[in-house]
């Protein structure tokens, strides 16, 4: 499995983030994992990285859809405004418990979203990402 430099987890469920971190670490999938309970905080950090340290922009983002405050769709709208020369090096995956087929279709039709996976994050999902989504 290829190892990534930095992964962002954006999910309002603290236990889910803890479990995701455990799976990512257990599979040696990333050097650094940043977890966010609020999409606004993640977006603020990404915006700061764009201006101050674009080389530290994450290679992978796992994003939940249903969150209080800024939800996943609103996050993607704001993410689209970030410079493409920075975001092109990042893979964005929706990781959600949503089973609404319209949500899945909508996510997969957004150019910024590489794929939609159902929770929980598993070693199999990380293997799929490693095998089918080479880093840009």
pTM reported for the whole predicted model: 0.95
DSSP state of 30: E
DSSP state of 5: E
Q: What is the CATH number of domain 6-132?
A: 3.40.50.2300
Distances (CA, A) of 131 to 37, 56, 71, 123, 127: 28, 23, 29, 12, 6
Q: Can you give the pLDDT of all 136 residues of the chain as single tens digits?
A: 556 789 999 999 999 999 999 999 999 999 999 999 999 999 999 999 999 999 999 999 999 999 999 999 999 999 999 999 999 999 999 999 877 889 888 998 999 999 999 999 999 999 999 999 976 5
Phi-psi label, residue 69: left if phi above 0, alpha if psi -120 to 50, beta otherwise: left
The encoded tokens of residue 71 equal 């939800």
Q: What is the pLDDT of residue 103?
A: 87
Q: What is the pLDDT of residue 134?
A: 76
- Report yes or no: 82 and 50 within 8 Å, Cβ to Cβ: yes
Distances (CA, A) of 82 to 45, 50, 68, 129: 12, 8, 22, 23
**Residue 35 contacts by C-beta under 8 Å, 6 or more apart in sequence?**
8, 9, 10, 11, 17, 18, 20, 21
Rounded to whole angstroms, the Cα distance separating 23 from 82 reads 29
Q: What is the pLDDT of residue 136?
A: 59
């Amino acid at each position: 499995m290829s190892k990534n430099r930095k992964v962002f987890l954006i999910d309002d469920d603290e236990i889910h983030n803890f479990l995701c971190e455990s799976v990512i670490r257990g599979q040696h999938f990333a050097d650094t994992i940043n977890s966010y309970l609020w999409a606004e905080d993640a977006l603020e950090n990404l915006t700061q990285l764009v201006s101050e340290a674009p080389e530290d922009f994450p290679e992978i983002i796992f994003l939940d859809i249903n969150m209080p405050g800024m939800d996943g769709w609103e996050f993607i709208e704001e993410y689209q405004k970030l410079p493409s020369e920075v975001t092109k090096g990042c893979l964005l995956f929706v990781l959600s418990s949503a089973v609404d087929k319209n949500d899945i279709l909508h996510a997969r039709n957004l150019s910024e979203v590489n794929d939609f996976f159902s929770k929980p994050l598993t070693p199999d999902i990380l293997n799929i990402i490693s095998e089918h989504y080479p880093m840009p």
